[in-house]
Structure 1
Amino acid sequence: MKSIVFTGGGSAGHVTPNLALIARLKERGWTVDYIGSADGIEKSIIGETGIPFHAISSGKLRRYFDLKNFKDPFKVLKGVYDAYRIIRKLKPDAVFSKGGFVSVPVVVAAWMNRIPVLIHESDMTPGLANKLSIPFATKVCVTFPETIRHLAGGKAEWTGLPIRDEVLRGNALKGLAVCDFHRQKPILFVMGGSLGSRAINEALRGGLDRLLEKFQIAHICGKGNLDPAFDGKRGYRQFEYVTGGLPDLLAMADVVVSRSGSTSIFEFLSLRKPMLLVPLSRNASRGDQILNAESFRSQGYGEVLEEERMTAGTLAEAVFRLYDERDRYVERMKSHSNQDSIARIVGLIERSARR
C-alpha cells in the first residue's frame, strides 16, 4: 500500500486543495498523513477529517524588517528537525506540498530522506515559501499556464487547481434555510478570505442599507469580526467562518464579492458565479492577488475593485453593475476548460512516488 504525506497551511487556500487530492488518493488505496503547524488553520481543518496530523515548529520568513526575523529562522530549523523525524518514521512514498511557510521544513526534510516531493503553486508567480522549496522538488504543479515561464529546470507542469467535489455539490435550499433567506430577492455572497478582511467588512456594512434594497446578503467576515449591531437585521446574515456549509452558501449565491486568492476564485469559476474581486494591495502583499484578479477580469469572469478605491459607495455601485451584467459573465465562464486537475495531479504523484 502506498503512503503519502501532505503539508501546507497558514490559510485555508493552502489546505483545501489538498483535501481534494486526499479524497481521490484514499479511493485509490493510499494512506495519508498531514504535517502542519500546531497553531495554524490547517490543524482545525484537517482535524475534522480524521487524517493523522503531526505538528512541527514553524516560523514565518518575512520580506520586511521585523524583530521576529531574528527568532523565526531558528523555528524553521527546529521545524526541519521535527519533520525529518516524522518522515523518517512514516517512510512515505511521496510528499505533496501546497505551500505556506510551514511547508518549507517539510519539503527540506523529505529531500533529506530522499522522498520525492511535489509542490503546487496556486498563484501566477511563486510565493516565497515555494521559491525556497522548488529546488528540493521533483515536480511543480501550477494553476496558471503563464507560471511555467517563471520556473526554470523543466520541473513545472500545468495542472490547474484541484477543486473539492463537495464544493460542486452544494445545496441551495440548505443555504437558504441556514440564512433564513428566500428566492424572491437575489443573493450576494461576501467573503474576505479565510482570515477575513476589515476593509471589505467596513465598506459592506457602510453601504448595507442601500445594498439590502436589492439583495439578501450572506457575509463571512472572519474570526473576531462579527458585529452585534447587525444581528437580526433582516436580509443580512454574518458568519465568522464557515467550513462544511460553505458549498450550500455558494450554491444559493447569485453574485460574489471576495478577495482574489487563487483557491477561492477558481471555486467561483467552477460554480459559474460572477465575481467582484478586491485583491490585497501591494502594501499588504507581494501583489499575487492583483495578478490573479486581472487575469480573471481580462478573461471576462468578473470585475475588479482596487482596495484603495473601495468605499461604501464604490462597492455598492460595483456590485449593482456586476449583477446587471451577470449573464455575460456566466456565458464567459462556460467557455472555461475545466480540466480534471485532480486526475492530472494524482497521476503525477503516482508516477513520481518512490518505487
Structure 2
Amino acid sequence: MKQKTIVFTGGGTAGHVVVNLALIPEFLKDGWTVHYIGSHKGIERQLIEPLDQVTYHSISTGKLRRYFDKENFKDPFRVAKGTLQAIRLLRKLKPQVVFSKGGFVAVPVVTAAKLCRIPAVIHESDYTPGLANKLAFPFAKKVLATFPETVKYLPEKKAEWVGAVIRDELFQGSRTKGFERCKFNNQKPVVLIMGGSSGSQKLNDIIRKNLPHLLKSFQIIHICGIGKVDQSIQEKGYCQFEYVKDDLKHLFSVTDLVVSRAGANSIFEFLALRKPMLLIPLSRQASRGDQIVNAESFKKQGYARVLEEEELTETNFIKELENLWKEKDDILTKMESFKSEKSKEKVIEIIKNA
C-alpha cells in the first residue's frame, strides 16, 4: 500500500503551532510521512525541527500588517515568492492533504495547495478569524472552528465546529517532577504566569516589583519570554523560565492558578486541565482584538477573570489575583461542566477524508 503524506503549516506564534504538535504524533503513529512548511526564523522552526520523523521546510513569507509600514510594499513579493516555493515543494512531496493552523506563513502554502489541486484543511482557534486565515479561506476545502460561535464568521459550505484540540501530553505531568524543577513544596499554592511566547514586559515588571507581597501567599512560576529572565532575582518560591516546552506538563501538574494572555489554544488547554485563570488579553492597539473576545467568552461562562491591558496596574493585578483565589472553587465547579468533544479524533478524521 502506498504510504500517505501530509504537510502541516502554521506559525508566527506558538499558538499557531500547538495544535499541529498535538496532531503530528497521531499521523506518525498511523504510518504517514509528515512534512512541515514554516518560515525561516519563526518560532515554528524551533518547535518543529527537533521532532523525529518530521521534515521541516522553510519558505519566504510576508507579515500582512494592518498598519502602515514601508515593509508592507515588500510583503506581496515575499508572499508571491513563498507561494512559488510552496508550489515546488508540494509538487515534489505529493501530499494527500495540507493542514493549516494559520499565521502568515500558511497563506502561501494553502494558496499553493489549491493551485496544485491538493485539499487543504484550515483550523481557526480564535472566536473571530484572523487576517491570514481569511485570506486563505477561498483556497481551503474545509475550515474548522474551536468556538461554536465562530462558524457564523466562516464560509458557510466549508465551516464545521470541532472544538478544541488538546495535547495529550499535558495530562501526563508529574507533580514530583514539577516541584523538583522549581524547587517548590506543597505548602503554598502555585501560580503559573505566562505572557505569551514573546512575553509581556509590563506584566513581568509588575510581578517582579511585587514579589515580596506575592510570595507571602503564593509560589510563582514565571514564564517571562525569550531574553527576559532576570538573573539577579533569586527568591525562594520564585522560578523563572524564558520558554517551556517538554517540562510544561510537569509545571501544570503543580499549578493551582494561571495568569496568561488569552490565545484560544492556551485557554482551552487551561480549561481542559481545570486551571482557574486570570486572563490579560492583548490590547486592541497591539492586536486585532481577538484575545479580548476570547477572554470575554470565558469570563461569561465562568471559567476566568479578566483584566484588560489598559487596566493592568500593580494594585489591580494583586486584587484580581486574590479574587481569583477566593473564587477558584466556584470556577472549578463551572469547569467540570466542560466536556471534551473528542475534538482531536474528529479533526484527524476530517483531514484523512479531505
Q: Same fold (TM over 0.5)?
A: yes
Q: Which residue of 1 aligns with 2:106?
A: 103
Alpha-carbon separation, structure 1, partners of 2:176 and 2:265: 24
Q: Which residue of 2 aligns with 1:53?
A: 56
Q: Which residue of 2 aligns with 1:226?
A: 229
Match of 1:279 among 281, 286, 290: 281
Of stretches 194-203 and 123-132 in structure 1, the one that deviates more from structure 2 is 194-203
Secondary structure at 2:329's aligned position in 1? helix
Per-residue deviation at 1:308?
A: 0.8
Alpha-carbon separation, structure 1, partners of 2:47 and 2:253: 21
Per-residue deviation at 1:108?
A: 0.5
- TM-score w.r.t. the length of structure 1 is 0.97
Match of 2:8 among 6, 9, 13: 6
Q: Which residue of 2 aligns with 1:257?
A: 259
Partners of 2:137 and 2:155 within 8 A in 1: no
Secondary structure at 1:52's aligned position in 2? strand
Of stretches 220-229 and 209-218 in structure 1, the one that deviates more from structure 2 is 220-229
Equivalent position amino acid for 1:15 in 2? V
Q: Which residue of 1 aligns with 2:158?
A: 155
Secondary structure at 2:203's aligned position in 1? helix
Partners of 1:176 and 1:252 within 8 A in 2: yes
Alpha-carbon separation, structure 1, partners of 2:171 and 2:15: 17
Partners of 1:58 and 1:76 within 8 A in 2: yes
Per-residue deviation at 1:26?
A: 1.8
Give runs of aligned pairs for residues 104-143 of structure 1, distance below 5 A. 104-143=107-146
What stretches of structure 1 of length at least 5 have no aligned partner? none
Partners of 1:276 and 1:304 within 8 A in 2: yes
Partners of 1:99 and 1:129 within 8 A in 2: yes
Partners of 2:259 and 2:278 within 8 A in 1: yes
Give runs of aligned pairs for residues 30-109 of structure 1, distance below 5 A. 30-50=32-52, 51-109=54-112
- TM-score w.r.t. the length of structure 2 is 0.98
The percent identity for this pair of structures is 55
Secondary structure at 1:282's aligned position in 2? coil
Alpha-carbon separation, structure 2, partners of 1:8 and 1:292: 20
Per-residue deviation at 1:228?
A: 2.4
Secondary structure at 1:229's aligned position in 2? coil
Give runs of aligned pairs for residues 141-180 of structure 1, distance below 5 A. 141-180=144-183
Q: Which residue of 2 aligns with 1:203?
A: 206
Q: Which residue of 1 aligns with 2:304?
A: 302
Per-residue deviation at 1:154?
A: 1.4
Alpha-carbon separation, structure 2, partners of 1:310 and 1:242: 25
Partners of 1:199 and 1:307 within 8 A in 2: no
Equivalent position amino acid for 2:259 in 1? V
Give runs of aligned pairs for residues 298-337 of structure 1, distance below 5 A. 298-337=300-339
Of stretches 123-132 and 169-178 in structure 1, the one that deviates more from structure 2 is 169-178
Match of 2:20 among 4, 18, 21: 18
Equivalent position amino acid for 1:207 in 2? N
Per-residue deviation at 1:45?
A: 0.4
Alpha-carbon separation, structure 1, partners of 2:125 and 2:207: 28
1:224-251 deviations in Å (ceiling 9; x for gaps): 1111231x21111111111100111111
Secondary structure at 1:61's aligned position in 2? coil
1:82-108 deviations in Å (ceiling 9; x for gaps): 111000000000000000000000000
Alpha-carbon separation, structure 2, partners of 1:61 and 1:199: 26
Alpha-carbon separation, structure 2, partners of 1:189 and 1:11: 20
Match of 1:349 among 345, 348, 351: 351
Alpha-carbon separation, structure 2, partners of 1:49 and 1:161: 23
Equivalent position amino acid for 1:29 in 2? G
Instruction: Output the aligned Cα RMSD.
Output: 0.9
Number of equivalences: 351
Per-residue deviation at 1:200?
A: 1.4
Runs of 4+ in 1 over 3 A off after TM superposition: none
Secondary structure at 2:217's aligned position in 1? coil
